């Protein structure tokens, strides 16, 4: 086989050589010829051939694979190489600011204002902890064009003791809260045209002071690995200077367990309230109220991929005492969110409702100038339908847009009390200078937008706004509810020692009602005023507040605060103007025991 192959190679070489000699011989006699191209060459697939990656070999011996046997002889080799120690790259780390467990703050300013805070917390050897907080804010009044005493005081003391382990955590709370305010909002029209003597007699006969007090205790228990997850309880005893009393007890136990990818949760609600007022607004009789709301709120959660859904319902039964009616309520409790583009755009929606327990304490916190003659009843929030988008426009800019439609029965609205010359109630709040509560079925549609930005580690900015329209069933207006609320904040670090900030908020126009009943009673019989019943528009207002801080060291910081710097003499409530420019100068001190 090897000999034949060599012969073939030799013959092929001879033929190629002779052809080359013949071609060189004819070169000298080359003539001109005409070549007619009949058709251009168009190659087809059949004209091409592919070289096989593994050609077939005629020599069978070449296809045999040799068997190779090898062994490795290893032996240790002593090495004298010693690697040098690595050195970390030089990275400048910011010095971590030391944190303290306690702080104290004190400030004083114009209008005789004093603001003091003290927060103390201590971890005990057993792992338990103790905390206490004291807060005080007071002013000696001095509002322009106000004839009655307008000073106020607001103080609170809160104590807590608790413990936390891997399996459970618990804490107990106790607190006392005291507020002192004055019903200084007298309408000047009541004594317009009075002689100075009659005016002094009228105003000196009014004692506008009111004092609220609240004592509470409660606690919370959390279990990490049990079907029974947590329970919170709280008891409030609320009272005032007119012998009004209110007791409220709330307990909310929570049960939760997981089945496959579904999380089941059930909240039980017990909300009991009982109270009384010594007399009604016209001093005819006293007022009593009491409600026990019992509810169950089952729900289950589904969390798959980019979607989170909570589906549930709320069932309430309200037992009323002192002439009320017992009622049963059912509400939706559905929420959902979906990540459309990761964290850049998240859509969320919900349909929720609940039975709101109203209380004298809550009303007095929302409006310090309510009279101790209120009608207390729960609000039936049939549903709150909302849809929104939230996310990020950039790494440092977040947004949130939300539209909502709320339907509430028996919604509480603050409304100015009437002034009646013949009113037998001669208390300091019975001169048209206090507010009562009226209930109405209210539907509201709102649009909320918010934008937050951290331009750098030294500058942050935020702005939000709410636009709302109201439809009432019985009352001509949604009393004292603004249609527009806007607010904006900015904070920035000037230097490592200096930092500052500002916030501004705007509240749109509100409506209230002025009712005056005047008869031929001295000295009103000498005035053209015989009575009024009209709607009053309260002007919109804005308030500008700023602060400037100087950090002396890690413990001590001085600050300067300014409120209502635009010196707006606006009225948050009808006939209740606020203080003008307010300035506070103070210091914070942090410490450990």
- From the list 188, 305, 261, the residue with the least C-alpha distance to 575 is 188
When comparing pLDDT for 60 and 481, which is higher? Answer: 481
Hey, what are 195's tokens?
A: 């002689």
What does the pLDDT average to over 456-481?
96
- Calculate the average pLDDT of the chain: 86
Q: How far apart are CA 276 and CA 373, in angstroms?
A: 9
| Report for 8-22, 42-56, 88-102, 320-334: range of highest mean pLDDT | 320-334
Mean pLDDT value across residues 310-334: 93
**Residue 86's pLDDT band (cuts 50, 70, 90):** low
Confidence label for 159 from pLDDT (cuts 50, 70 and 90): very high
> How many C-beta atoms surround the C-beta of residue 442 within 10 A?
22
What tens digit of pLDDT does each residue of 215-253 get? 999 999 998 877 888 999 999 999 999 999 999 999 999
- Residues 285 and 322: their CA atoms lie apart, in Å, by 14
Helical spans, DSSP H, in 352-415? 360-366
Q: Which of 50 and 402 is assigned the larger pLDDT?
A: 402
> In this predicted model, what pLDDT tens digit does every residue of 426-463 receive, in sequence order?
999 999 999 999 999 999 999 999 999 998 889 999 99
Sheet containing 419-420: give its strands across: 419-420, 510-517, 531-538
Which residues share a beta bridge with 416? 435
Q: Please give the full DSSP string across 156-212, using - where no structure is assigned.
A: EEEEEEEEE-SSEEEEEEEEEEEEEEE-----GGGGTT--HHHHHHHHHT---EEEE
Residue 419 scores a pLDDT above 80? yes
Residue 25 three-state SS: helix
- Helix (H) or strand (E) holding 264, with range, is strand 262-277
Q: SS3 for 113?
A: strand
**With the CA atoms of 476, 375, 483 and 447 taken in that order, what torsion angle do they form, in degrees rounded to the nearest 10?**
-120
The DSSP bridge pattern shows strands 510-517 and 419-420 to be parallel
Weakest-pLDDT range from 37-46, 348-357, 373-382: 37-46
DSSP per-residue string spanning 293-337: EEEEEEEEEEEETTEEEEEEEEEEEEEEETT---EEEEEEEEEEE
Q: What is the mean pLDDT of residues 526-532?
A: 68
Cis peptide before 523 (omega within 30 of 0): yes
User: Nearest 5 degrees, angle CA 61-CA 63-CA 66?
Assistant: 85
* Whole-number pLDDT of residue 72: 47
Give the SS3 label for residue 19.
helix
Residue 93's pLDDT is what?
A: 59
* pLDDT of 28 strictly over 90: no
Q: How far apart are CA 183 and CA 210, in angstroms?
A: 8
**Helices of type H across 388-533:** none
On the question of pLDDT at 60 being above 70, the answer is no
* Percentage of the residues of the chain whose pLDDT score is greater than 70: 82
Among 432, 424, 412, which Cα is nearest to 533's?
432
Q: Which two tokens stand for residue 151?
A: 């000073």
Of residues 484, 464, 467, the one with CA closest to residue 540: 484
Instruction: Write down the pLDDT at residue 69.
Output: 55
pLDDT reported for residue 11: 46
Most distant CA atoms of the chain, gap in Å: 150
CA 181-183-185 angle, 5° bins: 130
C-alpha separations of 510 from 331, 360, 436, 485, 574 in Å: 31, 23, 16, 11, 9
Long-range contacts of 121-125, Cβ-Cβ distance < 8 Å, separation of 24 or more: 122/593
Is residue 286 pLDDT above 50, yes or no? yes
DSSP state for residue 105 in the 8-state scheme: E
Above 90 in pLDDT, residue 37?
no
Q: What average pLDDT does range 572-577 have in this prediction?
A: 95
Report d(CA 497, CA 481) in Å as an integer. Answer: 42
Q: Residue 114's beta-bridge partner residues?
A: 108, 138
How far is Cα 147 from Cα 186, in angstroms, rounded to an integer? 8
Q: Other CB atoms closer than 10 Å to residue 246's CB: what's the count?
A: 21
Which stretch, 61-75, 84-98, 454-468, has highest mean pLDDT? 454-468
Per-residue pLDDT band at 63 (split at 50, 70, 90) = very low
With vertex at residue 321, the alpha carbon angle to CA 320 and CA 322, rounded to the nearest 5 degrees, is: 130
334 strand-pairing partners: 311, 351
């Amino acid at each position: 086989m090897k000999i034949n192959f060599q012969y073939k190679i030799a013959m092929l070489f001879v033929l190629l050589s002779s052809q080359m000699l013949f071609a060189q011989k004819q070169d000298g006699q080359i003539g001109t010829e005409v070549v007619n191209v009949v058709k251009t060459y168009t190659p087809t697939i059949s004209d091409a051939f592919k070289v096989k990656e593994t050609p077939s070999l005629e020599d069978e011996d070449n296809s045999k694979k040799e068997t190779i046997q090898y062994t490795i002889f290893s032996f240790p080799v002593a090495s004298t190489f010693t690697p040098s120690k690595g050195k970390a790259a030089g990275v400048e780390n910011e010095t971590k600011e030391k944190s303290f467990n306690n702080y104290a703050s004190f400030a004083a300013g114009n209008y005789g204002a004093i603001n003091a805070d003290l927060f103390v917390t201590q971890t005990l050897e057993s792992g338990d902890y103790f905390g206490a907080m004291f807060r005080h804010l007071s002013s000696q009044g001095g509002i322009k064009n106000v004839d009655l005493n307008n000073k106020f005081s607001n103080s609170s003391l809160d104590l807590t003791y608790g413990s936390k382990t891997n399996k459970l955590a618990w804490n107990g709370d106790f607190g006392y809260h005291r507020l002192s305010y004055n019903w200084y909002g007298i309408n000047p029209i009541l004594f317009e045209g009075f002689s100075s003597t009659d005016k002094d007699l009228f105003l000196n006969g009014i004692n506008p002071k009111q004092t609220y007090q609240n004592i509470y205790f409660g606690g919370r228990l959390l279990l990490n690995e049990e079907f029974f997850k947590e329970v919170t309880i709280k008891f409030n005893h609320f009272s005032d200077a007119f012998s009004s009393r209110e007791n409220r007890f709330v307990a909310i136990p929570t049960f939760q367990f997981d089945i496959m990818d579904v999380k089941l949760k059930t909240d039980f609600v017990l909300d009991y309230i009982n109270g009384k007022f010594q007399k009604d607004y016209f001093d005819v009789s006293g007022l009593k109220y009491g409600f026990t709301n019992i509810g169950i709120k089952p729900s289950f959660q589904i969390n798959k991929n980019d979607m989170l859904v909570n589906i549930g319902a709320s069932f309430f039964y309200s037992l009323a005492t002192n002439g009320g009616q017992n009622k049963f309520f059912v509400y939706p409790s559905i929420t959902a969110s979906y990540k459309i583009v990761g964290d850049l755009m998240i859509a969320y929606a919900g349909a929720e409702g609940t039975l709101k327990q109203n209380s004298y304490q809550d009303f007095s916190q929302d409006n310090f100038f309510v009279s101790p003659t209120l009608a207390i009843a729960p609000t039936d929030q049939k549903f709150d339908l909302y849809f929104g988008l939230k996310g990020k426009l950039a790494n440092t800019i977040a947004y949130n847009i939300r539209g909502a439609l709320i339907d509430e029965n028996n919604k509480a609205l603050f409304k100015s009390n009437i002034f009646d010359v013949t009113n037998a109630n001669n208390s300091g709040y019975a001169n048209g200078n206090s507010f009562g509560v009226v209930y109405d079925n209210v539907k509201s549609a709102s649009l909320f937008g918010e934008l937050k930005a951290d331009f750098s580690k030294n500058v942050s900015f935020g702005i939000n706004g709410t636009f709302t329209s109201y439809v009432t069933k019985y009352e001509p207006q949604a009393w004292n509810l603004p249609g527009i609320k806007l607010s904006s904040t900015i904070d920035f670090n000037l230097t490592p020692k200096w930092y500052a900030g500002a916030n501004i908020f705007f509240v749109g126009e509100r409506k209230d009602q002025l009712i005056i009943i005047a008869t031929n009673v001295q000295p009103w019989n000498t005035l053209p005023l015989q009575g009024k019943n009209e709607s009053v528009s309260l002007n919109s207002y804005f308030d500008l507040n700023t602060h400037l801080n100087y950090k002396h060291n890690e413990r001590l910081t001085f600050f300067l605060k300014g409120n209502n710097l635009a010196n707006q003499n606006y009225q948050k409530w009808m006939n209740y103007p606020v203080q003008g420019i307010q300035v506070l100068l103070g210091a914070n001190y942090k410490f450990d025991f």
